[in-house]
Structure 1
Amino acid sequence: MEYVTRGVCGQEGCRERRYYLDNGLWFCRRGHLQEGRQIEEDPDDFGTQGKKHRVKKDKEERSQKTYRGRKAHTVFLQAYQLILWKQCHALIHDHGFPEQFEAVLRDLWALRLQDFTLRINATTDDEEDDDRELFSSQPETDSSDDLGFKSRGGRYLEWPRLLDSVGLCYLAAILMRLPVCVSDFHRLIIRQDIPYIRVAKSIPHEMRDKLPPELVARLDVLQLPKLETLHRAFVDLVLQYQQRFEIALPPINSNIILYRHIKRLAIPIDVYETVRFLKGLLGFNYAFDATAKQKRIINQPEVQLMALIVVATKLLFPFDDLERHPATAKEPATQAINWSLWARAQTHFNRRESASGKIGKEQVIQLTDKDVLNMAPSQLDEYMDWYESNWIDSFRLVNPVADMFATNRTTETPAPPQAPPPSTLATAADPEEALNSLVHTVMQELQTNEVNPDPEEDDRRPGSWYWRYRWESQLTDTARSFYELAAQLAAVSLQTLIHAVTVTEYRIAKTIEDKRRAEYFSQVMDLDMEGDADEDSIDGMDELDEQLTELDVGGGP
């Protein structure tokens, strides 16, 4: 029996100090029950603690490790492929792209993925390869130069950019001859109809935590691409696929795209046939040619098409107020556009969403701090809701205190809907109805030019006194509005479109002059062979040569 030494027992004069425990009660060695004493803490065990058992966290630490080298690039390509699938899914299910679009896009990505797979397999150990990439100051001389994609500046794009994912969608649309343009994809990005801005937030956090910061930065785009930057990136990607994989690309679907541009510009349909005539005159084919000098903006298909639209519009419906009398009533120039009304209608169309009290999808991402000061309370709520859904990352909210401060607004009882005023009925309609309303407004105000079959010497014919704008400062107010809208549809800057139109006008003038000179020299050869060139015919040839010398398609008054 085990005894515990304590104080003196004291019962019946007992001086015993040793005690034992029996059924939870203490008894001294002589058998005296110790009243009021049960199991209690032993003072001799004061300050003692139990054994410490450490839980191993090897698996948790290993799952949170940031990859480097080969593993990091593998996870990066998997995340990139997920983003590409999300963009394809949005285009098919939300914007009417055919289901075969996914198969074409998958094949294009598989071709590009071959080069990345070869590059990943060519690397050695992960850590050593990562150190070499980060700290080596010597240029790489491996075989990856044959695998990379070369940009305009001569730099090889070793790993794909987020901009290239949208470019692959554009390339797949060209292969399927879908009537879409670069400006359409830019509008989808601005309106956030396809994943692009803050797309890294949609990547699973288990995958994102394994990526190093430099690779996450390639996916986390915070700025909108400019129109011309987007256009240049798409053209580079298309030409690189042609050169690297020898893909034969068809021309763009110019007929439907031409009709779409004419409708959006709200100009008469007569421009359609004039553009087709000018296309045959210049020999444009609206195709991407890897052998041509694509640095020349006029060699890009969409720019060619828009330049011809601008030239045809200036020939049939000039921006000045000069009277030009057609010879017959069948000529397209019997109509004249009220350009002042056209400009007001276009402004009203562009502001159709803000006129209804909403910010609009295309404007919300372009707001500045000055714009916020002029917002109504409802617009502020709309902006904050957009900011919450796009910029707040739910995976990063690990602080338990954050749950006490909810970011979403409390639901309120909505007010009963009120009928919109008659002036806002057109603005509240869907985009297609608003565009039809724009065209109807401009077309019903077309003016009529007087037909003059027997013109006098001072009468002007359609196409005469053709204004040619070589610089942006030369544009009139009406011409500037038209050029700016045309540049937006062509996905280039205003100065780039002016240059493309100038080159097109020069080529048209040179083509007409070459044809007239060919006719002139053929007449000279016939006269020399016949040997009966009289004085009147020589005078006629001199007059023709004088007309060729003074020919200037772009000359203004």
Structure 2
Amino acid sequence: MEYTTRGVCGQEGCRETRYYLDNGLWFCRRGHQQEGRQVEEEPDDFGTQGKTNRVKKASAEKSAKTYHGRQAYNLFLQVYQLILWKQCHALVQRRGFPAQFEHVVRDLWALRLETYADKIEDPSEGGGETEFFSSQPTGGQEEPETITFGGKNLQWPRLVDSVGLCYLGAFLMRLPVGIGEFHRMVMREDIPYIRIIRSIPRDMRDKLPQEYLSILETTRLPKAEHLHKAVLQLSLLYRRKFGVQFPALNLPPMLYRSIRRLALPIDIYSAVKRLQDLLGFSLEFPTSPTNRSRPLDLPEVQLITLIIISTKLLFPFDDIKRFPVSAHEPTTQVIDWKLWAQAQRHFDGRETAGGRIGKGNEILVNERDVFDMTPNQLDEYMSWYENSWLDNSRAPNPLSDLFPIGPTGVDTQAAGPPEEDEKEAIGSMLKTVTQQLQPRRVIPEDDPDTPRPGSSYVRYKMESDLPDIARPFFETAAKVVGISLSTLVRAVAQAEYKLMRWLEDQRRIELYGDASGMEFAKFDSSDDLGEQDTTDSEDSS
């Protein structure tokens, strides 16, 4: 058989370069047919081998082109609006929000779209150049007006702003849902947020440039404090640019829910109302931006601060016996704080009962935790990982069937026992704590040396000042409101200092008849609220 030397075959790694002709088709020495190479016999050249013609393969259809400029920006806003709708839909369908909630959030988003009018409107007649959106201002180009907070502008619609808009919509509707609960829903994936890019249709995703996709990617663990900051920025933006007047926090239901969640006696309710008047807390968002954001600017932080101060006054954390004057005072009962901490641990651990990871805790797992997991926990984690991180919009690999990864679309908690209803769990915890309240003997006012409720009040200026008996309460309160423990301690210390100044003014009025012009009068440290302190110097924060 005669062979002709040609190029390398290349099929299945074949390196053969010698070929033979069979029925007008070329084959390599190992039998691989060469695509696109054939010999056709022409009638005018009878008896010859004919001419060699190369048949070209049909060119594959090019993928969709990535958008740029105004077209990319319009698509990005459409994708963002789709994400916002998915979050509202989840809140209405899964969390029982009213149907009007979607309309309120839609109106807020419509106002926000007005700030991007110069990006989405058609160019004016006269043929302007194509606009390419960039986060960096270019020389000679006028930038739209933005709201500045701490040197940064709020020009891009960030992913955290979508949850912030949902919170502001609930805030306007007076729904008793706090930022801490929104953060918990994000962590539990009750509303789409983490890996939200998976829920965007692939044809829209492929046309977005990478710089836009990076805005929608969750590159770090979401924190409740980030949500607090985003909500504050959005409230200032809507107030300044559109004149939106946000109401005060819906105090009655929010206060009642917080008292129940913290398993406190209902007597805290009236004490909070009284302290609110004394401190002048409006429970509203600030009306103008400041150079330095303070924790007490947030309405929910003001509320939790009032609850903590009221608790310290009525049910202190020390072992000092304080005797009320009347049996009608709430201080006739004493909270067993060790039992309270045990009940809170039992409430927090109900989702991890039975050796489960717990919904919302999967994202907190690190490489060291894997070595201590049980087989059921590993299955639970891998099911969550599959549902949260694997992209099913891609074309399946032909070899994927050989490596099954388990059923898809299965809830990670399906294998465990049914989760106890949260309201029933809070009711059970509250019942456990209130049933163990200890009575305190009543002593009339005849004895002036008897310690009274509110005396020997201790202030904690830093997180390290918290005693072991008070730390669990502060940690739980910080988790409920969605701020760090150090931030909460600082906010409470600032409010206590403000309350001390009020007591000082009241004492000056009693002594001199006027609080002004009495700068020489020193504050008497024997007053009920200022008798004890964890440090020697007064708090100047």
Aligned to 1:105: 105
Aligned to 1:72: 72
| Maintained 8 Å contact 2:246/2:284 | yes
Aligned to 1:229: 226
Q: 1:485 to 1:123 in 2, by over 3 A?
A: farther
Residue identity in the other structure for 1:387: Y
Aligned to 2:131: 129
Instruction: After TM superposition, list the pairs within 5 Å mapping 1:144-293 onto structure 2.
Output: 144-146=143-145, 148-150=146-148, 152-291=149-288, 293=290
Aligned to 1:20: none
Residue identity in the other structure for 2:105: L
Which among 293, 304, 319 is matched to residue 306 of structure 1? 304
Aligned to 1:90: 90
Offset, 1:496? 1.0
* Secondary structure of 1:477 counterpart: coil
Aligned to 2:15: none
Is it true that 1:510 corresponds to 2:501 in the alignment?
yes
Is it true that 1:357 corresponds to 2:348 in the alignment?
no
| Maintained 8 Å contact 1:316/1:462 | yes
Is it true that 1:118 corresponds to 2:107 in the alignment?
no
Residue identity in the other structure for 1:364: E
Offset, 1:397? 4.2
* Secondary structure of 2:156 counterpart: coil
- The farther-off stretch of 137-146 and 372-381 is 137-146
* Secondary structure of 1:394 counterpart: coil
Q: 1:323 to 1:48 in 2, by over 3 A?
A: same
Q: 1:410 to 1:475 in 2, by over 3 A?
A: closer
Aligned to 1:553: 529
- Write the deviation string for residues 373-401 of structure 1: whole angstroms up to 9, x where unpaired: 12111111111111001111012345322
Aligned to 1:373: 371
Q: 1:139 to 1:455 in 2, by over 3 A?
A: farther
Aligned to 2:442: 451
- Gap runs ≥5 in structure 2: 1-40, 410-414, 516-520, 534-541
Which among 319, 322, 333 is matched to residue 321 of structure 1? 319
* Secondary structure of 1:429 counterpart: coil
CA distance in 1 between partners of 2:315 and 2:324 (Å): 12
| Maintained 8 Å contact 1:188/1:194 | yes
CA distance in 2 between partners of 1:549 and 1:367 (Å): 49
| Maintained 8 Å contact 1:119/1:144 | no
Instruction: After TM superposition, list the pairs within 5 Å mapping 1:388-427 onto structure 2.
Output: 388-409=386-407
* Secondary structure of 2:272 counterpart: helix
CA distance in 2 between partners of 1:138 and 1:546 (Å): 55
CA distance in 2 between partners of 1:176 and 1:47 (Å): 84
CA distance in 1 between partners of 2:215 and 2:332 (Å): 55
| Maintained 8 Å contact 1:264/1:435 | yes
CA distance in 1 between partners of 2:56 and 2:464 (Å): 80
| Maintained 8 Å contact 1:190/1:224 | no
Aligned to 2:457: 466
Offset, 1:223? 2.7
TM-score normalised by length of structure 2: 0.82
The Cα RMSD (Å) is 3.0
Offset, 1:459? 2.1
Offset, 1:523? 9.0
The alignment of Structure 1 onto Structure 2 pairs a total of residues equal to 479
Offset, 1:552? 6.3
Q: 1:556 to 1:128 in 2, by over 3 A?
A: same
Offset, 1:138? 6.7
CA distance in 2 between partners of 1:122 and 1:367 (Å): 48
Offset, 1:338? 0.4
Which among 421, 436, 460 is matched to residue 427 of structure 2? 436
CA distance in 2 between partners of 1:410 and 1:346 (Å): 35
- Write the deviation string for residues 270-314 of structure 1: whole angstroms up to 9, x where unpaired: 001000000011221111121374712212211111111000000
Offset, 1:49? 6.0
CA distance in 2 between partners of 1:44 and 1:244 (Å): 88
| Maintained 8 Å contact 1:70/1:123 | no
- The farther-off stretch of 391-400 and 318-327 is 391-400
Offset, 1:87? 0.2
Offset, 1:451? 0.8
CA distance in 1 between partners of 2:339 and 2:261 (Å): 15
Q: 1:138 to 1:74 in 2, by over 3 A?
A: closer
CA distance in 2 between partners of 1:45 and 1:286 (Å): 98
- Gap runs ≥5 in structure 1: 1-38, 412-416, 421-426, 525-544
Residue identity in the other structure for 1:378: N
Q: 1:133 to 1:101 in 2, by over 3 A?
A: closer
CA distance in 1 between partners of 2:530 and 2:71 (Å): 60
Aligned to 1:342: 340
Identity within the alignment, %: 47
* Secondary structure of 2:246 counterpart: coil
Q: 1:43 to 1:459 in 2, by over 3 A?
A: farther
CA distance in 2 between partners of 1:140 and 1:96 (Å): 50
Residue identity in the other structure for 1:90: A
Aligned to 1:485: 476
| Maintained 8 Å contact 1:241/1:247 | yes
| Maintained 8 Å contact 2:504/2:523 | no
Residue identity in the other structure for 2:66: T
Q: 1:141 to 1:253 in 2, by over 3 A?
A: farther
- Write the deviation string for residues 100-157 of structure 1: whole angstroms up to 9, x where unpaired: 1111111111111122132233879999533x849xx8745534331x343x222223
- Write the deviation string for residues 193-247 of structure 1: whole angstroms up to 9, x where unpaired: 0000000000000000001111111112143222212211111111111111110
| Maintained 8 Å contact 1:349/1:434 | yes
Instruction: After TM superposition, list the pairs within 5 Å mapping 1:28-67 onto structure 2.
Output: 44=47, 46=49, 48=51, 52=55, 55=58, 60-61=61-62, 64-67=64-67
Residue identity in the other structure for 2:225: E
* Secondary structure of 2:470 counterpart: helix
TM-score normalised by length of structure 1: 0.80
